[in-house]
C-alpha cells in the first residue's frame, strides 16, 4: 500500500518551488557573496520582483527580472551604506493555474561593506 496525502493544486516536477534567501551579503567586489541572490532557486521561476527598504521604511531599491539579484545599490545606482535592510520579494512560478497569486517573501538582510564589523 502506497502513501497518500491530501489533494493539492500544485504540480511539482522535482521538488516544489521555494526560494532560499541569505541574511547577509558583502558587496565589496571580491567575487564572494557580492550580491543578494537566492541560495537555492527552483527551475520554474518565471519572474521575481524585489523591493528593498531601509530601517525607516523608505524604499531604496526596486527591481524585477527572471532572477533575484541586488548589488547593494539604490535604484538610482548609489552605493547604500552598511546596515540592516528589509525586503519584499514577489515570485511568479510556471504553474498550471496562470491566475495563481505570486508567492510573497518578506525578511531582512544585513549589507556589510569593507571595514564594518558584523558585531
**For residue 91, is it within any domain?**
yes
Task: Give the chain's largest Cα–Cα span.
Answer: 60
**For residue 118, is it within any domain?**
no
pLDDT on residue 38:
85
Using the predicted structure, report yes or no on whether residue 111 has a pLDDT greater than 90: yes
The secondary structure of residue 79, as a DSSP letter, is: B
What mean pLDDT, rounded, does the chain reach? 83
**For residue 117, is it within any domain?**
no
Instruction: Measure CA of the first residue to CA of the last residue in the chain; give whole Å.
Output: 54
pLDDT on residue 13:
47
Strand partners, 53: 59, 86
Over residues 18-44, the mean pLDDT reads: 84
- Which CATH number belongs to the domain containing residue 103 in this structure? 2.60.40
Global pTM exceeds 0.85: no
User: pLDDT grade, residue 74 (50/70/90)?
Assistant: very high
Amino acid at each position: 500500500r502506497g502513501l497518500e496525502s491530501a489533494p493539492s493544486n500544485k504540480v511539482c516536477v522535482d521538488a516544489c518551488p521555494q526560494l532560499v534567501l541569505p541574511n547577509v551579503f558583502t558587496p565589496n567586489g571580491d567575487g564572494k557573496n557580492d550580491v543578494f541572490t537566492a541560495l537555492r532557486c527552483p527551475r520554474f521561476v518565471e519572474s521575481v520582483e524585489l523591493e528593498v527598504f531601509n530601517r525607516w521604511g523608505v524604499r531604496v531599491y526596486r527591481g524585477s527580472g527572471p532572477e533575484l539579484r541586488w548589488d547593494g545599490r539604490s535604484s538610482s545606482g548609489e552605493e547604500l551604506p552598511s546596515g540592516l535592510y528589509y525586503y519584499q520579494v514577489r515570485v511568479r512560478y510556471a504553474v498550471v493555474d496562470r491566475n495563481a497569486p505570486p508567492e510573497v517573501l518578506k525578511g531582512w538582510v544585513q549589507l556589510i561593506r569593507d571595514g564594518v564589523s558584523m558585531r
